[in-house]
Structure 1
């Protein structure tokens, strides 16, 4: 991966408060060249992450909110109490909002949760200059609830009156 794309992945992921991993929105932290996430009881679900497994990370633009870069990752489970786990948890703890157990959160994470480190694993599939033509949005299913009806005949006059006041 080029230095330019490496920098894009790192900076975009650091700045975005929310990323999508395998289609699931997650909060995260960036630590030592990788993204870390925590999940389990009382925390966010981790969509199909497993030790040594592959994942697809999609990062939005901080400015516009649209998809900026998608990169492949290799997930690694961090063992509770180890040095990499402590460093990751220290960063994640600062990002966790409204924790029910305050400072004791790391003890609960060690007992009940899993912390994964997602390392970039190849060049980004999508980035500026290499984005798909479509929006990526799913087509909504057909439903009678979304059919359009003609504008009521009196509405234009009513709106025109409001504009004069």
Structure 2
């Protein structure tokens, strides 16, 4: 195969893998974060960094570079890693409107679905990640990292009264 054919195959791999994956791992200047996205017009688009939306990793700013890792939707393993040029879209620009139309269809459980795009324009950031260098070779070592700090908690012990309450309901039936 020629080098040009290899580049086209790598681009096709990035597009198909990113389209099919529900999450992509994005790294700016700090640890990577799993982010939901849409693939639109040759790039991954994200919305976040606002109230009620996903937080972006540090360093995801206009003109910056990011590293995107795409996992397999079936097995969850790493398929491809690509460098991205980050562009923050200007609210209500033609490119922003097109990206938001796609993002809106993928946003699940929005508390304000009918006014969501207005909120995104006021309080959030819409980002375009355009693929650059593509790396399909997998590393020899594990890239496992400790979980990021979060306000989420683990389950607490079951309250003592809960089993009795559940048993009462079964007896009545």
- Common topology (TM > 0.5): yes
| Structure 1 equivalent of residue 42 of structure 2 | 33
- Correspondence list, 1:15-164, <5 A: 15-22=20-27, 23-39=32-48, 40-47=50-57, 48-122=59-133, 124-125=134-135, 127=136, 130-138=137-145
Structure-2 change in CA distance of 1:42 and 1:103 (3 Å): same
Q: In the aligned structure 1, how far is the partner of 2:116 from the partner of 2:144?
A: 36
Shift, 1:139, TM fit? 7.7
Structure-2 change in CA distance of 1:10 and 1:138 (3 Å): same
Structure ID, larger Rg: 1
Shift, 1:46, TM fit? 1.1
Q: In the aligned structure 2, how far is the partner of 1:135 from the partner of 1:103?
A: 43
Q: Which runs of 5+ in 1 are unaligned?
A: 141-165
Q: In the aligned structure 2, how far is the partner of 1:45 from the partner of 1:131?
A: 27
Q: 3-state DSSP class of the match of 2:70?
A: strand
Shift, 1:9, TM fit? 0.4
Larger mean CA deviation between 23-32 and 41-50 belongs to 41-50
Q: 3-state DSSP class of the match of 2:55?
A: coil
Structure-2 change in CA distance of 1:65 and 1:49 (3 Å): same
Q: In the aligned structure 1, how far is the partner of 2:125 from the partner of 2:84?
A: 17
Question: What TM-score do you get using the length of structure 2 for normalisation?
Answer: 0.75
Q: In the aligned structure 2, how far is the partner of 1:100 from the partner of 1:88?
A: 20
Q: Which runs of 5+ in 2 are unaligned?
A: 1-5, 148-173
